[in-house]
Amino acid sequence: MPLVSQMLIHARGTRGAPRKLRDPRFMREVPTSAVDATLRRVFAELSVARPELGLPFRGVEFADVLLDARADLRGDFPLLSPAAVVALLCELARVERRSGPRLSAQVAIVAQRLHLAMTRYLCTYRETAVGAVLVEPTIDPGRWAAFARRRGTLALVLCDALRSTLLLDMERRLRNPIELRRILQDRRATVVVDVLGCVQYRHERWHCRLRAQTWNEHGHYCDHASAIVRPLAPLGSWHWLDGFFNRHRELLQAAVRAAAPESDDADDWAPRLRDWLRANVRGALRRAGVMPGLRRAIRACLPYDPAQLALACRVRRVPTAPLSGFDLMELLAAEAEYRKLALESRALMHLCSVHTHPVRLAWPNEPQHLKSQLHELGLRRAGWRLLCRHGTRVYAALLRDEHDNEDMVALAIAAANLVAACQRPGLPPPELMRQLAEIEDQNTTDDPLVPMPLLRAAWDAALALPTRHARRAFAADAFARAVTWWRCARDRPSVPPGIPWAWFDARTTAWEQRERALRTADAWQWTGPVAAFECQGVRVVPLESMVALWDEGLAMRHCVGGVNFAKACLAGTRRVYSLRDARSGRRLATASCVRKPGEAWREGQVAGFANRDATRADVLAASRELLDALNAAHGANRVDESTVTGDGVRAA
């Protein structure tokens, strides 16, 4: 970046300042031209039309400071707040779009000078602030917004200005002590929590000076004094940040329109920008050490005493229980019954709390009541005894965050019946149950789980292995392949009880060889417009045959090996690429791009193992590079005909 060196010189508390002077070409005066006239007019209009920005100069004087090339060496930029920088950059983006590429270079230089002015403002603010400070000046914009690098310098500086604006507003709100109205046993009380440590903490009412800041019933941040304090979101969650971002919705939308003018780019860039800003706010709160104060504020306004809070936390700690605040309030309404249940059978607390959500008419807080209802849903007696003995350990590995309460109850019943039918002491290794959850998306039948003989044979084979590492490898390879065979095979044989694992392994290998031979005989092949390439250490390999799709789907445990994918690739409406580690060749993800005839390519899915969403930055960067390459090739050759060998479409 041209101004990184000067930023390092003038920002307080930074290291690594260079000793060399800047390139002499940056010291030349900017000639008075149409570019300067356009920018001066924009600055003059903003100084008059937007007085709330607090611009330090009026009219042409402000433009003289930002357009003077010698200011790079003097470093005498005015102090500009992040909100003012965001407004200026949005206006510059509109001017750049209207004027075309001839303004791009000059706008980039002005954006860097605005970033330096904002950095000086933040350094001055940190010196004069009292207590914890959330916002930190960023010296090198290229390090913190790599996902927006290809959009140019203006987008990079705009991202940092947005981040600083949100953090300053968050800090301004938290500097005022939070007043929490609390109702305990028909007694009203007010608790004051000083999150940032700016004032002395006191338990009393501040009628005049305090501004009530709390969370509403949905767990969102609200800012009006008449709000009823019932923070019913899960304890320690970040749902209140959604309300904070909603207060800045117009600002975020204006920034997205400025950085991504096209509607398709805006739809793709807006959620990523929001996630990036959300992660920055959370990181700043952690670094500043204000999380204990926030948790204290949340707990202080909960409408129950510490004993009730301990009960709610104990019920919520069980795996993936989607207990909202409404569930917690209903739980507290039956607190005596739950305490009795905790004494009689603690293992059933999670199942009770989950099962009461879809069934509002009756509260199965007694074990016998819960037993009768689960028996009506298909739970056997042996499965009930297993649940009473082991609790959530029976089905915890099968649960996912997207499962609702009814799915959790159904999975708990199916897992308890299956494990009890195996007639083995204890529970199966958790690695086997996790594989069932990971391959659940591949299920093409109505069976929620595998048959009992398959699980029992795999159970015995896993326990015979000496180490946990060996059991984990067995579950990820041999057992996962056997489950895929059972769920995808059309003609499944009858399995008598007592069959050893070798029988299942042989049937799985024979089925894989037969399916691969059928796809090889079909000889479906095509040639895509983009060859293999590397991007940030990721090797992007095109899959140009039905056999290649089958091998990819078998290795990654997803549905890319199906006939529908091959038909779409053969028709030229889909392209599938394997993203692999450039050094080891390990498969990282599978990228699929789709298009309609005559239209541009768009990203279909970037799926990891077992259809998980790919989250690695290098994998996502490689997928975006692939999409750009496909659209570039599509623009050069609008026909993009696939080279097809093989005649007929036959389902394997």
Ranges of H-type helices in 394-540: 405-421, 430-438, 452-463, 468-474, 480-488, 501-522
Which among 168, 187, 204 is the end of a domain?
A: 168
Distance CA 577, CA 630 (A): 11
Asked whether the beta carbons of 417 and 381 are under 8 A apart, the reply is: no
Residue 597 sits in a domain whose CATH number is 3.40.630.30
pLDDT greater than 60 at residue 320: no
**pLDDT higher at 474 or 357:** 474
Asked whether residue 632 is assigned to any structural domain, the reply reads: yes
Tell me the three-class secondary structure of 228-268, residue by residue: CCCCCCCCCCCCHHHHHHHHCHHHHHHHHHHHCCCHHHHHH
Among the listed residues 204, 208, 238, the one whose alpha carbon sits nearest the alpha carbon of residue 220: 238
205: Cα separation from own chain's centroid: 40
Whole-number percent of the chain with pLDDT over 70: 56
Q: What pLDDT is attached to residue 577?
A: 92
Crossing angle of helices 430-438 and 480-488, rounded to 10°: 40
Q: Which of 168, 197, 221 is the last residue of a domain?
A: 168
pLDDT at residue 404, rounded to an integer? 59
Residue by residue, DSSP assigns 16-71 as ----SPPPGGGGSPPP-SHHHHHHHHHHHHHHHH-GGG--SS-THHHHHHHH-TTH
Q: Which of 63-67, 164-168, 474-478, 526-530 is predicted with the least confidence, judged by mean pLDDT?
A: 63-67
Find the mean pLDDT for residues 460-485: 87
Domain-embedded: residue 313: no
Compute the C-alpha angle 125/127/130, nearest 5°. 85
Pick 412 or 334 by higher pLDDT. 412
- Percent of the chain having pLDDT more than 90? 1
The predicted pLDDT at position 611 comes to 73
Predicted confidence band of residue 527 (pLDDT cuts 50, 70, 90):
confident
- pLDDT, tens digit (0-9, with 9 covering 90-100), for 275-312: 788 888 888 888 887 777 766 665 665 555 566 556 55
Most confident of 113-122, 230-239, 338-347, 609-618: 113-122
Which residue in 600, 532, 529 sits closest to 569, CA to CA?
Answer: 529
Give 421-464 pLDDT, tens digit per residue. 888 888 888 888 887 776 554 444 445 577 888 889 889 999 89
**What is the rounded average pLDDT for all residues in the chain?**
69
Angle between helix 240-247 and helix 263-287 axes, rounded to 10 deg:
120
pLDDT at res. 334 = 60
**pLDDT number for residue 220:** 38
Q: Do 373 and 364 touch, CB atoms closer than 8 A?
A: yes
Least confident of 160-174, 199-213, 554-568: 199-213
Residues 73, 53, single domain; the answer is yes
Residue 472 is predicted with a pLDDT of 86
Q: Give me the phi and psi of 56, to 5 degrees please.
A: -75, -15
Residue of higher predicted confidence among 183 and 156:
156
> 561 and 472, same structural domain?
no
Pick from 392, 398, 231, 222: which is nearest to 312 by CA? 231
Return the closest-CA partner of residue 365 out of 296, 435, 315, 429: 315
Which of 168, 186, 220 corresponds to the end of one domain? Answer: 168
Residue 159 Cα distances to 1, 85, 138, 198, angstroms: 16, 11, 11, 29
* Sequence-separated (6 or more) residues with CB below 8 Å from residue 203: 191, 192
Same domain, 287 and 221: yes
One domain, residues 433 and 362: yes
Regarding whether 342 and 196 lie in a shared domain, the answer is no
pLDDT at 316 over 80: no
Q: Give the CA distances from residue 158 to residues 14, 85, 88, 331, in Å, rounded to whole numbers and listed in that order.
A: 22, 8, 10, 46
CB 411 within 8 A of CB 404: no
Per-residue tokens: 297: 């504020």
Other residues' Cβ atoms within 10 Å of the Cβ of residue 410: 15
DSSP state of 612: P
The number of angstroms, rounded, from the C-alpha of 461 to the middle of its chain's C-alpha atoms is: 37
Q: Check residues 237 and 479 and name the one with the higher pLDDT.
A: 479
Q: pLDDT band for position 554 (50/70/90)? A: confident
Q: What is d(CA 39, CA 26) in angstroms, rounded to the nearest whole number?
A: 19
Question: Where residue 385 falls among pLDDT bands split at 50, 70, 90?
Answer: confident
Longest dimension (CA), the chain: 90
The predicted model scores a pTM of: 0.47
Point out the least confidently predicted range of 326-335, 470-479, 528-537: 326-335
Q: Closest Cα partner for 65 from 20, 107, 97, 110?
A: 110
Lowest mean pLDDT among 228-237, 334-343, 395-404, 557-566: 228-237
Statement: residue 5 has pLDDT above 60 = no
Question: Would you say 40 and 67 are in contact if contact means Cβ atoms under 8 Å apart?
Answer: yes
Beta strands 574-581 and 587-594 are antiparallel
Please say whether the beta carbons of 542 and 530 come within 8 A: yes
Residues 180, 68: Cα–Cα separation, whole Å: 52
- 598 with 471, same domain: the answer is no
pLDDT at 201 over 50: no
DSSP secondary structure of 530-591: S--EEETTEEEEE--BHHHHHHHHHHHTSGGGSHHHHHHHHHTSEEEEEEEETTT--EEEEE
What is the C-alpha separation between 366 and 372, in angstroms, rounded?
10
420: buried, middle or exposed (CB in 10 Å: 19+, 13-18, 0-12)? buried
Q: Angle of helix 60-67 relative to helix 104-128, nearest 10 degrees?
A: 100
Instruction: Report how far apart, in Å, the C-alpha atoms of 315 and of each of 302, 338, 361 are.
Output: 16, 10, 21
Average pLDDT estimate for 204-209:
36
Q: Is there a single domain that holds both residue 26 and residue 114?
A: yes
CB of 515 within 8 A of CB of 550?
Answer: yes
**Domains held by the chain: number:** 4
List Cα–Cα distances, 134 to 13, 140, 175, 198, in angstroms: 16, 18, 11, 13
What's the rounded Cα separation, in Å, for the pair 291 and 275? 20
Rounded to whole angstroms, what are the CA distances from 407 to 99, 234, 357, 399, 556? 56, 20, 12, 9, 25
What separation in angstroms does the CA of 439 have from each of 397, 421, 435, 609?
A: 12, 22, 6, 9
Q: How far apart are CA 588 and CA 177, in angstroms?
A: 48
Determine contact, residues 440/397, Cβ cutoff 8 Å. Answer: no
Name the residue range of residue 580's domain: 523-636
| Angle, alpha carbons 215-221-223 (nearest 5°) | 90
Residues 19 and 85 in one domain: yes
| Per-residue pLDDT, 651 | 36
pLDDT band at 232, cuts 50/70/90? very low
Q: How confident is the model at residue 247 (pLDDT cuts 50, 70, 90)?
A: confident
Whether 378 and 471 share a structural domain: yes
Task: Encode pLDDT of 177-200 as tens digits.
Answer: 665 555 555 555 565 666 665 544
| pLDDT greater than 50 at residue 33 | yes
Together in a domain, 447 and 532: no
- Predicted confidence at residue 641, as pLDDT, reads 45
Question: Would you state the pLDDT for residue 194?
Answer: 62
Residues 185 and 114 occupy one common structural domain: no
The position carrying tokens 């929620």 is 448
In a domain, 54, yes or no: yes
| Cα separation, 611 vs 473, whole angstroms | 19
pLDDT at 636 exceeding the cut of 60: no
Domain assignment of residue 527, yes or no: yes
User: Do residues 617 and 598 make contact, with C-beta atoms less than 8 angstroms apart?
Assistant: no
CB 513 within 8 A of CB 521: no
Residue 258 and residue 186 in one domain: yes
Q: Read off the tokens for 304.
A: 């129950």
In this predicted model, which residue has the larger pLDDT, 270 or 299?
A: 270
Q: Does 400 have pLDDT greater than 70? A: no
